[in-house]
Amino acid sequence: MDDRKLKDASRNLAILVLNVGSTSLKYAVVEPQTGAKSIRGLVDRIGQSGGDAGCYEEAIERMLHYVDMGAIDAVGHRVVHGGAMFPAPTRVTAEAIEKLRLLDKLAPLHNPPARQVVENLWQRFPVIPATMVFDTAYFSQLPEIATRYAVPDSWYSSYGIRRYGAHGTSHSFVVQKTIQFLNQNAPRGKAKHRILSLHLGGGSSITASIDGIPVDTSMGFTPLEGVAMGTRSGDVDPGAIFYMQRQSGWDPESVETALLRESGMKGLCGESDMRRIEAMAEAGDSRAILAIDMFVRRIQKCMGAYIALMEGVDSVLFTAGIGENSALIRSKVISGFRWLGFELNEEQNVAPTWVGGLARLSPQGHQLSVFAVRTDEEWAISRLSQPQ
């Protein structure tokens, strides 16, 4: 047994988890059995004036000041879009990196910098096993009827135009956590767990799952489809896009930028942070009130459709920044489903009692459950990236 194996046998695993954004690099050293994090850090505003690093290579150097790669057992990379090529977590190899390069256009803000970081670390530390974990992988289980668009078949067969979903690592984590809790505390026998998971944050998506298998999800070919978000439009009639191109003379990149960065809550009220929007609404700002009401309405419409697809629902989960922290949004969303039997314990909703990252917000013993669940994508990625 070599020195590294002796070291591994004497301590818990340490997985370096990397989450690359369009201008950021988040990193954490995670113990996959418990989720404990010995190191967490962020290199922000990469490539921007006054940012922490001028490029992603500099961001990696900054991270390595705090992370001892000699103590790392494996690396896990979060990658937003895996397309049809990557339906599951995939070991980093030269071939995998070249395949990943083909997907740059599917998520132009996130995939190219993530690929750059994947390749850089793999070349520098080739003996450390590395895994790519894709946000789209959970939805590789979706039936074809949920993934296809009603467009010419050649769009699908030649260009891969279909629905892939996003936030899959988060949805999978909170759904499995809730099923485990329910099986331990409220066994349902052979009854299925029909769950709506609401990942509500800067980006938001809704997923319907039965016994941990996704049935449908709100994001599609890109993370732009679905409910209204912080700066993303969500669903828009494609005709409006063509109209703006003709009327304004915008090129496709200008329209895409507007829909990705200037729409959603920001487009409606000039602000993308829900905490500030709630404060504006409380002060009587009509635009903020409209933004909140539209945000909730889009969510409720999506939930209603998925309840029909699942022929009912047993649990609703709120997660991510807004879902875990906004009592107002949770209350407004659930108020639209009181007719179905959902209720909130308002004291719990305002000040949740968290146990193991989960808080029950519905009355104790109530047949239909509402939970806030703290998502932990870093922990989920670490578990999927353990060396074999």
DSSP secondary structure of 185-209? HS--TT---EEEEEE-SSS-EEEEE
Query: What percentage of the chain carries pLDDT values higher than 70?
Result: 97
Longest dimension (CA), the chain: 70
Spatial separation of the C-alpha atoms in residues 386 and 122, rounded to whole Å: 16
Q: Is residue 102 part of a domain?
A: yes
Q: In the predicted model, is pLDDT for residue 356 greater than 80?
A: yes
DSSP output for 106-174: GSTTTHHHHHHHHHHHHHH-TTS-EEEEETTGGGGGS-HHHH--SS-HHHHHHH--S---S-HHHHHHH
Average pLDDT in the 46-69 region?
92
342 and 200 in a common domain: yes
Q: Is residue 118 part of a domain?
A: yes
Query: Model confidence over 214-258: pLDDT tens digits?
Result: 999 999 998 899 999 999 999 999 999 999 999 888 888 899 889
Cα–chain-centroid distance for residue 23?
17
Query: Model confidence over 86-122: pLDDT tens digits?
Result: 999 999 999 999 999 998 887 777 889 999 999 999 9
Looking at residue 16, its amino acid is: L
| Cα–Cα distance list, 111 to 229, 253, 284 (Å) | 20, 17, 40
Spatial separation of the C-alpha atoms in residues 362 and 105, rounded to whole Å: 42
Please report the beta strands in the chain, taking only residues with DSSP state E, as ranges in sequence order: 15-20, 25-30, 37-43, 74-79, 90-91, 130-134, 194-199, 205-210, 213-217, 315-319, 358-360, 369-373
315 and 195 in a common domain: yes
Cβ proximity of 19 and 27 under 8 Å: yes
The pair of structure tokens assigned to 3 is 């020195």
Cβ proximity of 118 and 92 under 8 Å: yes
117 and 204 in a common domain: no
Q: In the predicted model, is pLDDT for residue 33 greater than 80?
A: yes
> Of 134, 169, 200, which marks where a domain is finished?
134
236 and 93 in a common domain: no
Query: Model confidence over 257-285: pLDDT tens digits?
Result: 899 889 999 999 999 999 999 999 999 99
Spatial separation of the C-alpha atoms in residues 195 and 209, rounded to whole Å: 5
Q: Is residue 158 part of a domain?
A: no
Q: Is residue 172 part of a domain?
A: no
64 and 130 in a common domain: yes
Q: Is residue 58 part of a domain?
A: yes
Token pair 């999800």 is found at: 217
Q: In the predicted model, is pLDDT for residue 36 greater than 50?
A: yes
Q: Is residue 154 part of a domain?
A: no
358 and 285 in a common domain: yes
pLDDT confidence tier of residue 11, bands split at 50, 70 and 90: low
Spatial separation of the C-alpha atoms in residues 150 and 162, rounded to whole Å: 9
Domain membership of residue 261 as a residue range: 186-378
pLDDT: is 188 or 365 the higher one?
365
> Of 117, 134, 151, which marks where a domain is finished?
134
299 and 202 in a common domain: yes
Residue 304: count other Cβ atoms within 10 Å of its Cβ: 13
Closest CA to 18 of 150, 168, 122, 156: 122
331 and 259 in a common domain: yes
CATH number of the domain where residue 306 is located: 3.30.420.40
Q: Is residue 280 part of a domain?
A: yes
29 and 113 in a common domain: yes
Domains in the chain, number = 2
pLDDT: is 157 or 188 the higher one?
157
Cβ proximity of 361 and 327 under 8 Å: no
The pair of structure tokens assigned to 197 is 């998971």
227 and 98 in a common domain: no
Spatial separation of the C-alpha atoms in residues 250 and 259, rounded to whole Å: 12
Spatial separation of the C-alpha atoms in residues 144 and 135, rounded to whole Å: 18
356 and 240 in a common domain: yes
Spatial separation of the C-alpha atoms in residues 282 and 188, rounded to whole Å: 41
Q: In the predicted model, is pLDDT for residue 10 greater than 80?
A: no
122 and 231 in a common domain: no
Q: Is residue 146 part of a domain?
A: no
| Predicted pLDDT of residue 6 | 36
pTM metric for this prediction: 0.90
Give catalytic residue positions: 135
> Of 69, 100, 134, which marks where a domain is finished?
134
Q: In the predicted model, is pLDDT for residue 12 greater than 70?
A: yes
